[in-house]
Homo-oligomer: A and B are copies of this chain.
């Protein structure tokens, strides 16, 4: 396989958002291939599997470097490794969950972080009844100790699952503590003008609504 792909690897400056949003999907499919001991795949085969054009796959991957080989295709393991690097899976980012309600619990108990090389380090809450309890092997810490904690344990990512009323203040607090990114599940979108914390707003409800829209549309439009 080609090893000089690194030539083009530097110019990550201007990869389009559309491409970036597709990368995690490649990551998932490549992992699945790897699990099934498939060592090599062509853009054509991957195209059939993922229901996107082969052209798009080649175009997307080439934004980051020449990962394939003419006449051969792509080495699945190598490509998976490259995409993992690009997506920061190899960075071992640390995360804390702010808000240990049902969603916080569900996230803490899921393999979602581990699968992506993110290390869940702690859970926080404000409720005295919740603080001190154990969730998935973590003892829930008090929000009062957040500053102390982060000064001793650098936190890259904060996962926000608090009520929306405290989203803004919590986000500002986290920003001041040097957190690099906020994964926000609260239904209030975070705006931190001037800050360079990366914000990822998740809206699970939006996805339910597009589903309802499609159902609605298929089942006889207006009535």
Measured CB to CB, the residues of A under 8 A from B are 9-10, 12, 20-21, 23-25, 27-28, 86-89, 91, 93, 101-103, 105-106, 109-110, 112-113, 115-116, 118, 156-157, 180-181, 183, 187, 196, 198, 200, 202-219, 221-222
Q: Within the complex, what minimum Cβ distance (angstroms) separates A78 from chain B?
A: 17
Q: Within the complex, what minimum Cβ distance (angstroms) separates A156 from chain B?
A: 7
If A87-B216, A157-B215 touch, whether A209 touches B93 (CB-CB below 8 Å) is no
Q: Is the CB–CB distance between A181 and B88 below 8 Å?
A: no
A-B contacts, 16 listed (Cβ < 8 Å) = A12-B221, A20-B210, A23-B210, A24-B209, A87-B209, A87-B213, A103-B106, A103-B110, A112-B204, A112-B205, A113-B208, A116-B205, A198-B215, A198-B218, A200-B208, A200-B211
Q: Is the interface of A mostly helix, strand, loop or mixed?
A: helix
Contacts of A87 in B (CB 8 A): 209, 212-213, 216
Q: Within the complex, what minimum Cβ distance (angstroms) separates A92 from chain B?
A: 11
With A24-B209, A116-B212 given, name 9 new contacts (CB 8 A).
A20-B210, A23-B213, A24-B205, A87-B212, A88-B213, A102-B105, A115-B205, A198-B211, A202-B207
Partner of A210 from the list B12, B24, B91, B216 (CB cut-off 8 Å) is B24
CA distance A40 to B157 in the complex (A): 38
Contacts of A101 in B (CB 8 A): 106
CA distance A113 to B211 in the complex (A): 12
Partner of A212 from the list B89, B110, B210 (CB cut-off 8 Å) is B89
CA distance A200 to B21 in the complex (A): 17
Q: Within the complex, what minimum Cβ distance (angstroms) separates A1 from chain B?
A: 20
CA distance A10 to B223 in the complex (A): 11
Contacts of A113 in B (CB 8 A): 208
